[in-house]
Amino acid sequence: MKHKLLILLALIGISASLRAGNSQANDLVRDANGNILTVGLANSIVDRTTDYALARYLPTGELDPTFNPLGEMPGQLQIDISMIVPQTDAVVLTPVDEGLSSVAIDPSDNKIVAVGFSGQGLDIAIAVLKLNPDGSLDQDFNANNQFGLVNGLAVINLSEFPGITEIATGITSDLASDVVIDSQGRIVIVGSRDDGVNLDLFVVRLLSNGQLDPTFNTQSSTPGIFTLALTNVDLTRDDLIMRAVALNPDDSIIVGGTLVARVTNNTGRRTEFLVVKVTEGGCTLWKRRAWVESLLDGCKEKNNGTGITDQKSQNCQGT
């Protein structure tokens, strides 16, 4: 439904010119009042990086003047962290790219939670932005500054936690792709983690105040974080490109995406639908193949005459 609304905005000509010019919307959601909130990124006005960007429209299509009402352009919001954190001799921020990929609204208080990225080059961390309904930063979120210097924003680098793999260069990319809020107000973030060799699945669950949820994945060395890597029998690892998340009525987590599997002896690869259910007892994954397999002698469609074949279910154990 969110993607249909995004197409609708383009068809009826609704647009917002953020202050720096070029901008890109990546997701949207309707709030309890029927307003349409879009999130994405925009060019920074102070350097050559990108900023977090949001715009909210009334049901009639006009920009909502109650969103960021005291800003230069009510209805729109562009956030450059270097403009928020005081720069001192002790605090000097390196310019980084920032952007948002997904958004959710907490139905209990209408607060906005958007996730995306913060980083430079291949060194990317998870960004979680929490705003009050008027667009101001939620000062109770990341109030202890465990994940950065800004209340209302948590920048989470998974490599900083025990038990999570980091390659020798220290450069990793944690790419958050989707977010949902469960029945207890906890924030569930999913995505893929590039350790320089492969893409692994990650799920992070935060409390409403931005702290890691100590009741999630309690057997891990870092409760609150779940990661999963798949290794083949020949010790090659598959890429897990995770795009979406949904919740069961019991708040167990369903993550969907694509598995990119290496063919034996690394002579090619295949892709499969991948769905992973994450619970306290571990995880279960389902694979359904519908792939084109790349071989040394070219591309050959492999569907056994049906197009979609070989559905598999298996238990898995993350970290």
**Is residue 306 one of the residues assigned to a domain?**
no
Total number of domains in the chain: 1
SS3 8: helix
Q: pLDDT at position 300, please?
A: 28
Residue 237: phi and psi, rounded to 5, are -110, 145
Q: pLDDT at position 265, please?
A: 59
Q: How many residues in total does the chain contain? A: 319
* Residue 309, phi-psi category: left (phi > 0), alpha (psi -120 to 50), beta (remainder): beta
**Is residue 236 one of the residues assigned to a domain?**
no
CA 102 to each of CA 9, 99, 129, 148: distance values in angstroms, whole numbers, following the listed order? 17, 10, 10, 20
**Is residue 262 one of the residues assigned to a domain?**
no
**Is residue 184 one of the residues assigned to a domain?**
yes
Question: Which residue segment(s) compose the domain that 106 sits in?
Answer: 2-231
Q: Along the chain (319 residues), what's the average pLDDT of each consecutive run of 10 residues?
A: 44 45 92 96 85 96 96 92 58 74 96 94 89 97 92 92 63 89 97 85 96 91 88 67 94 92 67 85 64 28 31 58
**Is residue 272 one of the residues assigned to a domain?**
no
**Is residue 276 one of the residues assigned to a domain?**
no
**Is residue 281 one of the residues assigned to a domain?**
no
SS3 266: helix
CA 135 to each of CA 25, 77, 84, 195: distance values in angstroms, whole numbers, following the listed order? 17, 7, 15, 34
**Is residue 58 one of the residues assigned to a domain?**
yes
3-state secondary structure 139-181: CCCCCCCCCCCCCCEEEECHHHCCCCCCCCCCCCEEEEEEEEE
